[in-house]
Structure 1
Amino acid sequence: MNLTTRRTRLAAAALAAVVAVGGLAACGNDDDTPAEGEKPAKLVVDTFGEFGYEELVKQYEQQTGIKVELRKTAQLGDYRPKLVRYLATGRGAADVTALEEGILNEFKANPGNWVDLTPLVADHSKEYLPWKWELGKTPDGKLLGLPTDVGSLAVCYRKDLFQAAGLPTERDQVSALWPDWNSFHQTGQKYKQATGKGFVDSITAVSNGVLFQQGTDLFYDKENNIIADTSPAVKTAWETATSMADISAKASTWSQEWFGGFKQGTFAATFCPSWMLGIVQENSGEENKGKWDVAAVPAGGGNWGGSWLAVPEQSKFPKEAAKLAEFLTSATSQVEAFKAKGPLPTNLEALQNEAFLSYTNEYFSGAPTGKIFGEGVAKIEPVHLGPKHQAVKENALEPALRSFENGQASKQKAWEQFVKDAAIQGAF
């Protein structure tokens, strides 16, 4: 038995033990079981980042008389450990829980933690992007989650900073600057030469942009064996990202430097899946309204992110929770969420909705974001993400890239560290 296999089996055994503990803990809640037909006074929804649900839950409250509490966590890296703890202890989970694609398979592995939504909602199987709907199901056909968004890629850029560097500012002209990644790098070098500042926020952002364009296996093969050290997709992302260290502002995604960099103009461009628009706006502030715009991503489309809404087994009101999830993922709600914060619809009716297709984002210089991101949906190919994808990306790949970017390790040493950490983080 090789080391990876042994670690995988040990990790699986440990996770099974955690689930068992969670099941025992959940049994302690029997006394709190609501009476037959009892209506919940409140339902709790857990999300990360910006889902655009603030106004939608107010509508739901008015329609049903049920109060909805939104619990938002800024970063997925902080969100996942809390969810693991809730499931392990059998208490604390929200009634409706968002599951991002990077962690979905990890939680699919223990379907007993989740309510099968099939008997609780109408049959919506023909209403969403087919591959997105299927990914929300467990191997045995259980409907674990209803689709929310998908992360069609673009580039968010600061027009004022481009102008100061003598670069074009109109989105079509900007898109034409970088038909490929090499051209993007060359544009960044021109910007840095003119301003002395970093062009793109970080090489980890570049890595994400490239990685999710590949449309193939990333850290795992189809049998969920770790292939991080041999994956062509990972190698392409690594080589492209490390080549751009010279134009990086070294503000890694989700860091305090990154959050502050939007307002301070530390960098001029970042990679924007549709759901990132709300995060850029929130952190840039009202004073930077109209300074941002949206251009095409180098080398075509791609998909970074996207989620589903699930109902934990420990919810005391699974029927009502399922109805709330159904409401939040409907065609109308997906259009409203997109207009509020940017998450791109996966509901087919929403994607054809005139209010979506014609929507322009005032904050981003009136960019036709419905058209820009909507056209990108057709180019998205589902990528196979293994059970610990997010852990490998955040705890192995990105730290290795940062160590190279910050001059703490040579490119070769950083790669070796990534391969070592990927085997540990990816064990399941």
Structure 2
Amino acid sequence: MSVTTRRNRLAVAALAAITALGGLTACGNDEGSGQADGKPAKLVVDTFGEMGYDELVKQYEKDTGIKIELRKTAQLSDYRPKLVRYLATGKGAGDVVALEEGILNEFKANPANWVDLAPLVADHSKEYLPWKWELGKAQDGRLLGLPTDVGSLAVCYRKDLFEAAKLPTERDQVSALWPDWNAFLETGRKYKAGSGGKAMIDSITAVSNAVLFQQNGDLFYDKENNIIADKSPAVQAAWETATSMSDISAKAATWSPAWSGGFKQGTFAATFCPSWMLGIVAENSGEANKGKWDVAAVPGGGGNWGGSWLSVPAQSQHQKEAAKLAEFLTNANSQVEAFKATGPLPTNLEALKNEAFLSYTNEYFSGAPTGKIFGESVAKIQPVHLGPKHQAVKENALEPALRSFENGQSDKAKAWEQFQKDAAIQGRF
């Protein structure tokens, strides 16, 4: 065993011990402890972004008589610290919480914080993408999360802005513009020339995410969870591709006010869209831009950016009922309805074959057959290895370094040096 590996495993053990102490304190959601019939008066669900659950929880309330409080946090970077605090203090977490792939392994490091769902729900092990189901398990085999979605990649683009720049606008023609990333860059330069100097894409960090999640295998960590960020071929490919596109970028960092406002203002004409991003694009763009957006293929083939699981914290006072709610939200019908609502791509095999999913067209995105577009890519998705602090390295090391270069604060070599330094710090656990 290497010294680094041993140190990392000791760190995981220390984290487990600390959070286990938190798990011994008072339970989390203590409002509405129950009704006369033994059912809880209320269950709390913690999510981030848009998971398409608004109408589903209303249906669950109607079917069960249990009130569901859906607590949404817009950004994962804000969501994770809240969850860390809830687990450390042993109180405050929802009865059901979403765990995104970038933070999943970090929280799985202490399985004592989570309920084993297997005894509380039916056996669904054959109903989901096999690799997705397996990732929801702890090392000891306990089932800690039920699969929700994956984030199959595409490009969302503004047809009206492409037309004004004298580029094709039909989705098949647009997809043909960029079979690879070099062709995408050339298209961006043509757009810039045809639009009077406007940027085609929102930011180079969006490019890095798309490229990063097209790679199979290891990203920031090797299989033994040693940090390899600056030596990873996947990271190097993402870095080189992203930095090559700074001249076609609006420099609007994802989730920033400039990014959110840029959809309505036409600051950029394209962004990389995992399926769950469709609802966010529509919300940011507003009703006035309905029908102006469409969906095309991503350069270089498919890829998977994002995806989550639903888990039940051990601190929940209503573990059995919470497990049933998680089971409902992840079943085949619910995954189809969530997709139609905001775009999260199903991982339930029955849902992926559902005609309502396969034939679904998204009116906001010019009637794009998003069920077909994203559904056909699911079988091609390969799992990538995300280490325990993947999200921290990506958000606090890689993306700041790329933004430093994009904004002209650092040259490419200095920005890479910054990334190497910050990745070593952020990747420790």
TM-score computed with the length of structure 2 as normaliser: 0.96
**Cα pair distance change 1:53/1:387, threshold 3 Å:** same
Q: Provide the rounded CA distance (Å) in 1 between the counterparts of 2:147 and 2:208.
A: 26
Look up the match of 2:382: 381
Look up the match of 2:177: 177
Instruction: State the Cα distance separating 1:226 from its structure 2 match.
Output: 0.4
Q: Provide the rounded CA distance (Å) in 2 between the counterparts of 1:4 and 1:183.
A: 41
State the superposition RMSD in angstroms: 2.0
For the 8 Å contact 2:218–2:384, the answer to whether it is kept is yes
Instruction: State the Cα distance separating 1:169 from its structure 2 match.
Output: 0.3
1:394 aligns with 2:395: yes
Larger mean Cα displacement after TM superposition, 154-163 or 10-19:
10-19
- Return the letter of the residue paired with 1:301: G
Q: Provide the rounded CA distance (Å) in 1 between the counterparts of 2:27 and 2:75.
A: 31
For the 8 Å contact 1:331–1:350, the answer to whether it is kept is yes
Look up the match of 2:309: 308
- Return the letter of the residue paired with 2:68: V
Q: Provide the rounded CA distance (Å) in 1 between the counterparts of 2:332 and 2:376.
A: 17
Look up the match of 1:145: 145
**Cα pair distance change 1:30/1:400, threshold 3 Å:** closer
Look up the match of 1:12: 12
- Once the two structures are superposed, what CA deviation does each residue of 1:302-326 show, in whole Å capped at 9, x if it has no partner? 0000000000001100000000000
For the 8 Å contact 1:93–1:312, the answer to whether it is kept is yes
Look up the match of 1:290: 291
Look up the match of 1:93: 93
For the 8 Å contact 1:7–1:427, the answer to whether it is kept is no
Look up the match of 1:275: 276
Look up the match of 1:404: 405
- Once the two structures are superposed, what CA deviation does each residue of 1:296-350 show, in whole Å capped at 9, x if it has no partner? 0001000000000000001100000000000000000000000000000000000
- Return the letter of the residue paired with 1:423: A
Q: Provide the rounded CA distance (Å) in 2 between the counterparts of 1:389 and 1:88.
A: 20
Q: Provide the rounded CA distance (Å) in 1 between the counterparts of 2:35 and 2:66.
A: 17
Q: Provide the rounded CA distance (Å) in 1 between the counterparts of 2:372 and 2:50.
A: 20
- Return the letter of the residue paired with 1:405: E
- Return the letter of the residue paired with 2:257: Q
**Cα pair distance change 1:30/1:70, threshold 3 Å:** closer
**Cα pair distance change 1:17/1:111, threshold 3 Å:** closer
- Return the letter of the residue paired with 1:90: G
**Cα pair distance change 1:245/1:13, threshold 3 Å:** same
For the 8 Å contact 1:34–1:316, the answer to whether it is kept is no
- Return the letter of the residue paired with 1:202: S
Q: After the TM superposition, which residues 26-37 of structure 1 pair with which residues of structure 2 at under 5 Å, given as runs?
A: 26=26
Look up the match of 1:320: 321
Describe the SS at the equivalent of 2:384: coil
For the 8 Å contact 1:178–1:184, the answer to whether it is kept is yes
**Cα pair distance change 1:297/1:89, threshold 3 Å:** same
Q: Which runs of 5+ in 2 are unaligned?
A: none
- Once the two structures are superposed, what CA deviation does each residue of 1:346-389 show, in whole Å capped at 9, x if it has no partner? 00000000000000000000000000000010110000100110
Look up the match of 2:160: 160
Instruction: State the Cα distance separating 1:11 from its structure 2 match.
Output: 4.3
- Return the letter of the residue paired with 1:234: V
Q: Provide the rounded CA distance (Å) in 1 between the counterparts of 2:255 and 2:201.
A: 14
- Return the letter of the residue paired with 1:113: N
Look up the match of 2:300: 299
Instruction: State the Cα distance separating 1:38 from its structure 2 match.
Output: 2.2
- Once the two structures are superposed, what CA deviation does each residue of 1:125-168 show, in whole Å capped at 9, x if it has no partner? 00000000000001110000000000000000000000010000
1:67 aligns with 2:67: yes
Instruction: State the Cα distance separating 1:17 from its structure 2 match.
Output: 4.6
**Cα pair distance change 1:257/1:46, threshold 3 Å:** same
- Return the letter of the residue paired with 2:226: N
Describe the SS at the equivalent of 1:275: helix
Q: Provide the rounded CA distance (Å) in 2 between the counterparts of 1:88 and 1:375.
A: 41
For the 8 Å contact 2:8–2:226, the answer to whether it is kept is no
Q: Provide the rounded CA distance (Å) in 2 between the counterparts of 1:69 and 1:31.
A: 11
Q: Provide the rounded CA distance (Å) in 2 between the counterparts of 1:268 and 1:296.
A: 15
Describe the SS at the equivalent of 1:290: coil
Look up the match of 2:223: 222
Q: Provide the rounded CA distance (Å) in 2 between the counterparts of 1:161 and 1:337.
A: 30
Instruction: State the Cα distance separating 1:256 from its structure 2 match.
Output: 1.1
Q: Provide the rounded CA distance (Å) in 1 between the counterparts of 2:210 and 2:30.
A: 46
Instruction: State the Cα distance separating 1:12 from its structure 2 match.
Output: 3.5
Look up the match of 2:211: 210
- Return the letter of the residue paired with 1:250: K
For the 8 Å contact 1:136–1:143, the answer to whether it is kept is yes
Instruction: State the Cα distance separating 1:15 from its structure 2 match.
Output: 2.0
For the 8 Å contact 2:48–2:76, the answer to whether it is kept is yes
Describe the SS at the equivalent of 1:38: coil
Q: Provide the rounded CA distance (Å) in 1 between the counterparts of 2:123 and 2:180.
A: 42
Instruction: State the Cα distance separating 1:9 from its structure 2 match.
Output: 6.2
- Return the letter of the residue paired with 1:44: V
Q: After the TM superposition, which residues 322-341 of structure 1 pair with which residues of structure 2 at under 5 Å, given as runs?
A: 322-341=323-342
Residue correspondences, number: 428
What is the percentage of aligned positions where both structures have the same residue? 83
Instruction: State the Cα distance separating 1:193 from its structure 2 match.
Output: 1.4
For the 8 Å contact 2:12–2:109, the answer to whether it is kept is no
1:372 aligns with 2:357: no
- Return the letter of the residue paired with 1:161: L
Instruction: State the Cα distance separating 1:25 from its structure 2 match.
Output: 2.3
For the 8 Å contact 1:148–1:345, the answer to whether it is kept is yes
Q: Which runs of 5+ in 1 are unaligned?
A: none
- Return the letter of the residue paired with 1:147: P
Describe the SS at the equivalent of 1:15: helix
**Cα pair distance change 1:129/1:30, threshold 3 Å:** closer
Instruction: State the Cα distance separating 1:31 from its structure 2 match.
Output: 13
TM-score computed with the length of structure 1 as normaliser: 0.96
- Return the letter of the residue paired with 1:55: E
**Cα pair distance change 1:292/1:108, threshold 3 Å:** same
For the 8 Å contact 2:26–2:315, the answer to whether it is kept is yes
- Return the letter of the residue paired with 2:190: K
